[in-house]
Amino acid sequence: MSNPLKIATLSFWHVHAGDYSRQAQEHPGTELVAVWDDNAERGKAGAEQFGTEYTGDLDALLAREDLDGVVITTPTDVHRDIMVKAAEAGKHIFTEKVLAPTVAEAKEIVAATDAAGVKLIVSLPRLYHGYTQAIKEVLAAGTLGKLTYGRVRLSHDGAIGRDGKDGWLPHRFFDPKAAIGGALTDLGCHPVYLTQLFLGATPETVSATYRSVAGLGLEDNAVVVAGYGDQTIGVIEAGFASDNPFTIELFGTEGTLTYTDRGNVLLVNGEQVPVPEHAPDAFAQWVDHITNGTRADDNIQRAVELTRLVVAANAAAEANRVIAYS
């Protein structure tokens, strides 16, 4: 294993490829040494941006003995194939969410990384933000009583064009095959895993309403409702068509909690509660797991359950009915 770890970015398809490549350059324990992309123009531009080499030969890149890990920001539909290949080549994997298009593929990825002894972690950043840690403490203390309702909303305006121009989100994010879904599958992952954290990973029922404000083929405006066996309701909202504050609302039999990133304000029963600094992010945790030989158990489990709920929401939206969750 190299010191620092030598990392390659696999594809600049996803808009966060640059962010993770920058982390690979800036983290003291990693070094960005290569970029691969099946789109040569896109890959060369990414490699040039970060001053590293581009290759169009994935097999040759993964065969490099001096390569320790890969950042996977490919189209979602090829996650399973790319990750299994990387795992079998002995490369540690940091990946953009969702983990895979199906639960079966997600489990194949986890099994492949475990069999190869490589470290997998999925970018679920808001699990490690300060407000999430503070909310977990409030819930653990029982301050809100029994939770009855939760709502998490995350939205930006990436699909909306202005002055005759397209929105800033690339049109490939609306390719049904590559992206496998729109706002809910991409941005909605964050409200999904936070709702699962606060209310539970396994609701009884799921329903979903999707709409397309910009008319680009996949939803840019989505609401998912999760019904739990204890009668709690979870509402997950995501959009590419309005630039709103990130919002968390939790209601219980004995209190109310609200959070907004506009001012980083957390209120519990109307009183402001301090928000701590963020915990180490998923990339830093990945480096630590590689260095220490540990497994990201909680992250991996949450990534699989995130995939399960996203798949269920997409099925419910397509069927236009409430479906049993499984």
**pLDDT value for 281:** 97
Q: What is the pTM of this model?
A: 0.97
> Is pLDDT above 90 for 129?
yes
> Is pLDDT above 90 for 164?
no
Q: Domain 126-281+308-324 is of which CATH architecture?
A: 2-Layer Sandwich (3.30)
What token pair was written down for 170? 């690339």
Per CATH, 5-118 and 126-281+308-324 having the same topology is answered no
Of 141, 142, 229, 235, the C-alpha closest to 188 is 235
* 1 residue type, one letter: M
Q: CA–CA separation, 90 vs 69, rounded Å?
A: 8
Q: CA–CA separation, 111 vs 201, rounded Å?
A: 21
> Is pLDDT above 80 for 165?
no
Of 250, 97, 262, the C-alpha closest to 185 is 97
Are 221 and 212 in contact, with CB atoms under 8 Å apart?
A: yes
- Region 134-140: mean pLDDT is 98
Q: CA–CA separation, 281 vs 24, rounded Å?
A: 13
- Ranges of each domain in the chain: 5-118, 126-281+308-324
The phi and psi torsions of 111 (rounded to 5 degrees) equal: -60, -40
Query: Residue 302, by phi and psi: left (phi above 0), alpha (psi -120 to 50) or beta?
Result: alpha
3 state SS of 243: coil
**pLDDT value for 1:** 78
Fold for the domain defined by 5-118: Rossmann fold (3.40.50)
- Region 108-135: mean pLDDT is 98
Strands 69-72, 92-95: pairing is parallel
Whole-number average pLDDT of the chain:
96
> Is pLDDT above 90 for 166?
no
